[in-house]
Amino acid sequence: MIGKAVAGATIALVAALGALGEARAAEAPMELKWAHLMPSAAAVPAKPKTFFSGATPHDGSAASSQIPEGKWMSLKSKQPGGGTPPSVVAELDGKRVRIGGYVVPLDFEATSVKEFLLVPFVGACIHVPPPPANQIIYVKSENSFDVGGSFEPVTVTGTIKTETAFTGLADAGYSIEAEVVELLKP
């Protein structure tokens, strides 16, 4: 009788531990690479010619070779695919993810950052034209974190959304409410 009770308790304990292990596995974030943020070639609409290609405007008028003084930052055509909705992977919406990249601070006080763009390479959005919107993630963190300088490598964990965020530097095709932002040390 005692043997049956012990066996029953052992089975219950093993089942509970198995369920706990499954719950923890379900909590683990999906590890993303930047390539995962780009839809398959079949899902991407034809890419319009970029500003620098010398393309003729869609309305048939002659292309202007001059940009009005002080207006170059506001032109959507400066960002690849500018002026069209970004091609994103809709299946990622609402997923808990983890992705690494570089910080381009947006909302900061001294070295403490709360909002930033996460980009795949150093210099994106500042020193070179921004990457396509599906290669930029707008990140907002409830808790600020300290950075040692521009373009700090980090890993962000949080829930990703496929909604466009418009910033003064570039449009982001994705956004993440960060749970954790980890600084990567070289």
Domain boundaries, the chain: 1-30, 32-45+70-186
The owner of tokens 């009770």 is 5
Angle at 55 between CA 52 and CA 60, to 5 degrees: 145
Whether pLDDT at 49 is above 60: no
In DSSP terms, 112 is beta-bridged to 109, 146
The pTM for the full model equals 0.65
What CATH architecture is 32-45+70-186?
Beta Barrel (2.40)
Query: Please, are residues 155 and 184 in contact by the beta-carbon 8 Å criterion?
Result: yes
pLDDT 10s digits, 52-99: 444 444 444 454 555 455 544 455 444 555 566 789 999 999 999 999
**Alpha carbons 124 and 170: distance in angstroms, whole number:** 10
Q: What is the pLDDT of residue 42?
A: 46
Q: What is the pLDDT of residue 10?
A: 43
